[in-house]
Every structure is written in structure tokens, then in C-alpha cells.
Amino acid sequence: MNTSVPVAILGPTGYTGLELLELLANHPRMHAAYLASARPEPIDITREFPRLCDRLDSTTPALTKPIDHDAIARACKLAFLCLPHDAAIAHTPPLLDRGVKVVDLSAAYRIKDPATYHSAYAHHHTDLNNLAHAIYGLPELNRAAIRSAMLVANPGCYPTAAALALAPFIRAGLIEPGTIVINAASGVSGAGREPKPHTTLVEAGDNFSTYALGTHRHEPEIEQTLASITPAGSGAPGVLFLPHLLPIERGILETITAVPSATAQSMDQQALTNVLSEAYRSEPFVVVRSDAPTLRDVQRTNRVHLSVKLLPAKGPRPSRLIIVAAIDNLTKGASGQALQNANLMLGLDEHLGLR
């Protein structure tokens, strides 16, 4: 008989922690054995989230417990950290020291350069040793390293879509460096569960707005990932990242433009689509399409949908490569990808709990 692996969720009452709980409720080989919260009083999960009533079996506790590293290590093989970045840095070292594998859903271990991390998050990194050894958890680009990792930095939602959309074209030298523009729009859940003035119904409903232009925390993460896959001598893949807020619950749509190389300009539509198809032929969570995806196609799934189109030069306008990517920010952009990483780290089938 297959045994079920016990795992912990630190921060189960935020959007990503709740999403993980719902995914684990359908996982045949993994279960939430410890729910840890920084709140002073225990939380009855099914009272706070009634939709979980009758969905959590006897292996998942109804009440949260304090964040106790020794207790977590006794009960669990892996911990999901659904915490702010500063709290994640505080709890990761003691968990790793006790032999607990960690999937961190915050940004604490994504950006390798401490100075860049401080600039983006206004927080000095205090765990440089683990930062150096953390594996960036994008399975489609890093699967082998994730399998043997003790600490995985789960990617951000915008960077996941951007990296998967651009990687095949950058690797093939089909995009001119420094010409990438990412127009991205996210549902309000991307801002987290804590209320903020601009994410209230009155402000966000029936509205559409830009935010954090030139200062978004995900921009250096996107640039770092693209730089890691850029062929030597090709120049830095500079990015202009333009985030927008959609008046919806969940989902991200990115329309990415770049100047195509001379080789790309000579390719027809099928050949360009084949670049994506060949790159992701064996990837279970990447769907390559001939038409542009919409958010409805990916909401509440762990899939990213991709399409590509070449706009030829017209008058003074140069040609442009247009790549469209759609994901669910809470699933493939956060908790679903975290579960995908955990499956790999624990030697389980990568698909479990995600179909």
C-alpha cells in the first residue's frame, strides 16, 4: 500500500496556504499533518474557511498550532512556507537544520544577489548561506536540481509566466537582447489576503490600473531568470515590466513583445509555434496553442497556456514577436507550483494532486 507523506503548512490562512490545503485534500500520497500559525490563539480552519468542511480527512488537524520547529520536524518531512519574506528567512534555517525539506513561497530565496534583494524588498537578507544553495523552483527549467534540493525558492507568479514564455526564444537566439516588454495584468488575489486600499472592491471593482511601474519586486527576479538562460555573448536580456491590476479574483495574462532576430523574421507562423511545442513537448503543465489564451482557460489549474505571433514590419514600425502567456496566479503561479516542486523533492509523481 502507498503511504502518505506528512507535510506542514506554515501560514495556512493566507491565500497561498489555503490553496495548498485545498490541493492537498485531493493528493493521494501527501497530507497536511501540521498547520502552523503565528497567530497567538489556535485557529479552527474549517470555521475560518467553511468551504473546507467535510473536505479535510482525519490526517489534517482542524486547529492550527504554534510554529514549533522541533514539533514540525517530528511530524513532517517537508514544510511549505506561506509566510512574509522576513518570517520565511527566520524559520527556514532551523527547519533545514532539523532535516525538514522546505518549499518557500515567499521571495526570500529567489533573488541570488543580496544587494538586489535588499533594493527590491527593503530588507537585509540574514541567511546568506541558504540563499546561495536555494534552488529556483521552476520545474520546466530546473527539474533535476529540484529533485535533490533541500530548499526550493518557489517562483513568483509574474516571473513564472514570463520565463516559460520567453525561455525557448531566448535560448534559440530568436530575440534581440534588451527589447523585451512585458505587459502583464493580474487578479487582485496576487496582492495577498491582507486588505489594502487599492484592492478593496470600491477601488478595484469595475476598474483597471497600472501599479509599481519600474519598481515592481518581480522585475529583478524576471531579469535574473532570463539572464541565466541567455547564451553567452548574447548581451543582457533587459526587460521593461508593466504590471496592471484586473478587477477579478485570480489569473494573470501577459502580452510580451520583443524585436525578433533576423532568423526569427524569416520564420513562418508554424515554425515559431514549433519553437514552443518542441521546448515543452514533454511538459505536463504547459499548453502551446495556435490562438491566444484567455484567463478563463487557466483559472484553477496548474497550467500555463502559451501562443506566439510575428507581426511583420509595417511602415516605420519594425517587426515584433508577440508571445501571450496565461496562468492562474494562485496555482501555477504559487501553490500548485509549490506542490509540483514538493512532489519532485519527495520522489513522487510530479502530477499528483494537480490534475
Nine-digit cell string for 308: 506566439
Rg (CA), the chain: 20
Rounded distance, CA 120 to CA 87, Å? 16
Q: Which of 146, 81, 140 is nearest to 347 (CA)?
A: 146
SS (H, E, C) 133-154: HCEECCHHHHHHHHHCCCEEEC
C-alpha to C-alpha distance for 156 and 167, rounded to whole angstroms: 16
By the 8 A CB rule, do 35 and 61 touch? yes
Residues in CB range of 55: below 8 A, 6 or more apart = 22, 25
Helix, coil or strand: residue 230: coil
Give the C-alpha separation, 296 to 101, whole Å. 34
Nearest CA among 280, 166, 156 for reference residue 228? 166
HSE-CB at 179 with a 13 A cutoff on CA atoms is 18
Q: Is-contact 212 244, C-beta < 8 A? A: no
Indicate which residues carry an active-site annotation.
157
Angle between helices 218-229 and 114-121 (to 10 degrees): 150
